[in-house]
A = this chain, B = another copy of it.
Amino acid sequence: MKRNDTEFAEISPSEFFYRNRDLAGFSNPSRALYSAVRELFENSLDACEIYGKVPDILVRITPLDLDTSIPDPKAYMIKVQDNGPGVDPRYVPKAFGQVFFGSKFQLRQTRGMFGMGGTMAILYGQITTNKPVSITTSIDGVQAFTFDLLIDVQENAPIILRKASHPAEGSTGIMVKLTLEGDYSRAYGKILDYFKQSAMVTPYANITFINPYGHLSIYERVTKVMPVPPKETLLHPYGMDVEAVRRLIKRSNEDSMVRFMSKNFHRVGEKIARKFINYSGFDQDRDPKTLSNDEITKFVRALHRYEDFLQPDASCLSPIGEEILMTGIKKELQPEFIATTVRPPSAYSGFPFIVEVGLAYGSKILPRGLKLFRFANRIPLLYDEANDVASKVLNEEIDWRRYKIPEEAPLAIIVHVCSTKIPYKTVGKEYLADRPELERELKNATREVLRKLSLYLSRKVSIEMDKRRFNIYGKYLPLVAKFSTELSGEKRLPDYKKLLDTKKVQRGIEEYT
């Protein structure tokens, strides 16, 4: 056996994701173009919403070489510009040029989860086209700064090639221009679906997309009502682990377990804290800093076993809401019938979440049969549908025969999950893990909207039958009246018309359509 000469090496986070870019959704030129666009676009939406600014976002893809005869994959320039709060110039280089440096690391509902999408896009652009990214930012609308950056992959650090300051055109916000090798001919379908579906759940945003051929797609704002911006929140006892507790102890200045808990745990006040401390068998006034490693473990185990903590409250979540969801669906799918439902807040391992489901039935835009639209924290999810918990629910847990929906009728189910932590299975944010709590909520929500649909359908049927009955009736009644009058030798026909009052029917029809 040859001797042990195993080579060990250390790699940087950039290096890791450079080598494994498939993990972040940058597996090929078509996929990368799509991912880059969505990551930058989602950062812009997040920024606007967190600061309660009605979003105005421009996305433009231009081929670097104007000779259109060059085949894909080729170099494209992506430009994304928003009217958000902008990024403080002090942070720009690291925020865009360093993996694992970002603003998405608090416990708060945002589209971004891993805080690396933008950097990955820039990294991919750099390794395929060798061009620096250009970032222009203004946080006061008066002065703007432009940076040209490259990433030192091995060091995971930004390289600033140029930094310039100049007057801003009156508005705050950020503009990112990056060049990458992409394949628009393969990606455009997904990209258009992505914007269309984004518009469906953000009808309060103006989205302008200009494709490489200069073609304009505009998704216009139809409402200024925005969801309440998400708040940051504390970790729920059920979400705690030894590491988390140790950190809280290190940070906190509370000198008693009770005060420690009521200050640092989500929905734990003095009263609950006391109850729990008794249950866990620790001393009320014990200074948390004096806990040994084993005691911390005992404490955490007790946290997970204790059943009387309050469920995480969802005030930190920002669901779309039935109204905005309706508006969006109506606008983008123009269906014959819409039903929506918002489930009460629930939680999985300490993270609050809300499930919203919409249903659209009968529309020229929709394909025949069932179409599923998936959203998570307002992001459309377009890849790996097969593995998503929503597909599992629709395929395995819904008894479709119960709802008597005409086969081949166009039907769309729109599911939205919002949470402080979306259980994505991949950094590329393709699909959600089948956490049982999530599965349950999705199932119930879907059943609710399906019940509403079958109610509508059955009423529709009976109305049509009424109409038909009245038509036949209306055809023969006059004759019956005429003959019977003649037979009886009367001169005047009886007033049979009031018998033909179909208002009731009319009313019925309007009522349900």
Contact between A243 and B18 (Cβ–Cβ < 8 Å)? yes
B-facing mask of A166-197, CB < 8 A → 1, else 0? 00000010000000000000000000000000
A426 interfacial contact with B, CB 8 Å: yes
With the chains together, A293 CA to B154 CA distance in Å? Answer: 17
Closest residue of chain B to A124 (Cβ to Cβ) is: B241
Task: Say yes or no: is A91 at the interface (Cβ < 8 Å to chain B).
Answer: yes
Nearest opposing residue in chain B for A52, CB measure: B1
* Stretch from A97-105, A211-219, A254-262, A445-453 that touches the partner: A97-105
Given contacts A20-B114, A22-B433, contact A103 B8 (CB under 8 A): yes
B22 touches A425 (CB 8 A): yes
A128 smallest CB distance to B (angstroms): 6
Q: Is A153's CB within 8 Å of the partner chain B?
A: yes
B-chain residues with CB within 8 Å of residue A129 when the two chains form the complex: 242, 297
What is the interface of chain A mostly: helix, strand, loop, or mixed?
loop
Q: Is the CB of A139 within 8 A of B12?
A: no
Does any Cβ of B come within 8 Å of A352's Cβ? no
What is the 8 Å Cβ interface bit string for chain A, positions 190-206, against chain B (1 contact, 0 not)? 00000000000000000
> For the complex, is A288 an interface residue (Cβ under 8 Å from B)?
no
Structural contact, A128 and B27, CB atoms closer than 8 A? no
A321 at the A/B interface (Cβ < 8 Å)? Answer: no
Q: Kindly provide the distance from the CB of A494 to the nearest chain B CB, expressed in whole angstroms.
A: 69
**Proximity bits, A3-21, B CB within 8 Å = 1, else 0:** 1101111111101101110
Q: A23-B426, A105-B9, A105-B11 are in contact. Are A88 and B128 (CB under 8 A)?
A: no
Say which residue of B4, B22, B114, B424 sits within 8 Å of A86 (CB atoms): B4
Contact A425-B423, Cβ < 8 Å, known A10-B94, A94-B8, A103-B6: no
Residue A511 is within 8 A (CB to CB) of chain B in the complex: no
B85 touches A4 (CB 8 A): yes
Q: Give the number of copies in the complex.
A: 2
- In the assembled complex, the Cα of A482 lies from the Cα of B134 at a distance in Å of 104
Q: Does A57 contact B (CB under 8 A)?
A: no
Report the separation of the CA atoms of residues A433 and B129 in the bound assembly, to the nearest whole angstrom.
25
| Residue A133, interface by CB 8 Å | no
**A16 contacts B13, C-beta separation under 8 Å:** yes
Please name all residues of chain B whose beta carbon is closer than 8 Å to the beta carbon of A105 when the two chains form the complex.
9, 11, 19
A502 contacts partner chain B, Cβ-Cβ < 8 Å: no
| Cβ-based interface call for A408 (8 A) | no
User: Once the chains bind, are B87 and A6 in contact (CB under 8 Å)?
Assistant: yes
Q: A16-B100, A426-B425 are in contact. Are A242 and B126 (CB under 8 A)?
A: yes
Q: Determine the distance from Cα of A22 to Cα of B13 in the docked complex, in whole angstroms.
A: 18
Q: A2-B52, A8-B91, A88-B6 are in contact. Are A297 and B424 (CB under 8 A)?
A: no
- Provide the residues of chain B in CB contact with A10, threshold 8 Å: 94, 98, 100-101
* A407 on interface, CB distance cutoff 8 Å: no
Contacts A7-B106, A425-B23, A433-B27 given; does A128 touch B13 at CB 8 Å? no
Q: Report A132 CB to chain B, min CB distance, Å.
A: 9
Report yes or no: A427 in contact with B23, Cβ–Cβ below 8 A: yes
A residues 76-120 near B (Cβ < 8 Å) are 85-88, 91, 94-95, 98, 100-103, 105-106, 113-115
Query: What are 13 A-B residue pairs whose CB atoms fall within 8 Å in the complex?
Result: A1-B51, A1-B85, A3-B139, A4-B172, A8-B102, A10-B100, A11-B105, A13-B16, A20-B427, A127-B241, A128-B241, A386-B386, A425-B430
Besides A130-B300, A425-B430, 18 other A-B contacts (C-beta < 8 A) = A1-B53, A3-B85, A4-B85, A6-B91, A6-B103, A8-B103, A9-B103, A10-B94, A13-B13, A15-B100, A16-B100, A16-B114, A20-B113, A22-B424, A23-B23, A27-B423, A127-B244, A128-B241
